[in-house]
Amino acid sequence: MATIRYFGIVAEVTQRNEEYIEIENMNVSEVWNLLYAKYDLSTLNARVALNQRLVDLNSSITVNNNDELALLPPFAGG
């Protein structure tokens, strides 16, 4: 199972902070599209981090079980 984590306004839209999904032969772009359709993330200006590193939404990097993928809204620190 891969862990999917949601933060800020993304968590508000998905109504959860995290969930676990079974991943088989999927890359970042495919997982993003799956979640995008599931929660209608179209209005959100989100970015994706794979194992705590920002990656492109269209990235073809493989997501493995035990990976952590996070959907991050705009940063607001400071």
Partner 1 sequence: MKQVFVKGPITPDFIATSIAKHQSKYEIGAHNIFLGQVRADEVRNRKVAAIDFTCYEKMANEVLHDIREKAFRTFDLTCLHIYHSIGEIKVGEVCFFVFVSAKHSKDVYEATEYLVNAVKKKAPIFGKELFEDETHQWKVNKTW
Which positions touch partner 1 (CB under 8 A)?
A: 5, 7-9, 12, 45, 49, 52-53, 68, 70, 72-78
Distance CA(21)–CA(73), nearest Å, equals: 21
Q: How far is the CB of 68 from partner 1 (least distance, A)?
A: 8
Q: Tokens standing for 19?
A: 């969930």
Shortest Cβ distance from residue 24 to partner 1 (Å)? 25
Closest to partner 1 by CB, 45 or 66:
45
R_g of the chain, CA atoms, integer Å: 12
Q: Which DSSP letter does residue 63 get?
A: E
